[in-house]
Structure 1
Amino acid sequence: MMNLHPTVKAYFDAANRQDADALLACFTPDAVVEDENNRYAGHAAIRAWKEESFAKYRPVQEPRSATENGAVVSVVTTVSGDFPGSPVDLLHEFTLAGDAVARLKITLA
């Protein structure tokens, strides 16, 4: 995998293992995720979102490019899985608070 911020690398590693516990460890307790026009706030909502995604889509994410601008790490990934249009390129915009993700916004790249 390319040279990513350690927290962001841990997020993608956990996501590709479909390990919700390890993935949640990357987020602040009050983190917010925005994905597919939905908003998930806090660990319980983020866990439910990822567990549903893991079960429904079996996604695998391959980071293609990354940039850092202060606390914001932007990563373009190719995501494949059990969903129409697979694979698709997505932009993940991580806003970090220290070594944890405070906000993650996922959109089409």
Structure 2
Amino acid sequence: MNNTPKELVEVWIAAANAADLEAFAACFAPQARVVDAGSEYSGLEAIKCWAERDIAAVNLRLELLDLREQDGETTFITRVDGDFDKTGLPDPVLIHNRAVIRQGRIERLTCRLHAPDTGRAG
């Protein structure tokens, strides 16, 4: 893949939304690492298992809201929906993703809940 980081993220999101695990895994380098919800997945087989369980099985839907590139990292915010337990989660569910992308593939991806500053006193 010789995509720009933005194009790669768009392909990754489209593959996730289509539950296309082969296309999803193709976005990652063979030695890639993913950290999501406090768990780490290393290598394509582990990443495919994570995607099957946490993306495809719950009909996860992602919408890209923001993407920025700085200092060799790509950060992007996604709105997330699907058939997963949303108890205790904000509405909408926003995920802050931080990726290291080299040679058109994701080498490292960290996903965490995004808590935007609402500017409201609470």
| 1:107 Cα offset (Å) | 0.2
Given candidates 90, 93, 100, the residue that maps to 2:98 is 93
Structure 1, gaps ≥5 residues long: none
Contact 2:6/2:67 (8 A) holds in 1: no
- SS of the equivalent of 1:57 reads coil
Deviation string, structure 1 residues 29-87 (Cα, Å, up to 9, x no partner): 00000001000000000000001113432110001111111321111111001123264
The residue that corresponds to 2:35 in the other structure is: 34
Contact 1:81/1:87 (8 A) holds in 2: no
The residue that corresponds to 2:44 in the other structure is: 43
Correspondences of 1:5-84 after superposition (within 5 Å): 5-84=6-85
Q: Give the fraction of aligned pairs with identical amino acids, expressed as a percent.
A: 30
* In 2, Cα distance between equivalents of 1:55 and 1:14: 10
- SS of the equivalent of 1:92 reads strand
Identify the structure with the greater helix proportion: 1
* In 1, Cα distance between equivalents of 2:57 and 2:7: 27
Structure 2, gaps ≥5 residues long: 115-122
Q: TM-score, normalised by structure 1?
A: 0.90
* In 1, Cα distance between equivalents of 2:40 and 2:102: 19
| Equivalent residue pairs, number | 106
Identify the structure with the greater strand proportion: 1
Deviation string, structure 1 residues 1-30 (Cα, Å, up to 9, x no partner): xxx611111111111111010011110000
Tell me which structure has the larger Cα radius of gyration.
Answer: 2
Q: TM-score, normalised by structure 2?
A: 0.81
After superposition, the CA RMSD in angstroms is 1.4
* In 2, Cα distance between equivalents of 1:64 and 1:42: 27
The residue that corresponds to 2:113 in the other structure is: 108
Q: Give the 4+ runs in structure 1 shifted more than 3 A.
A: none
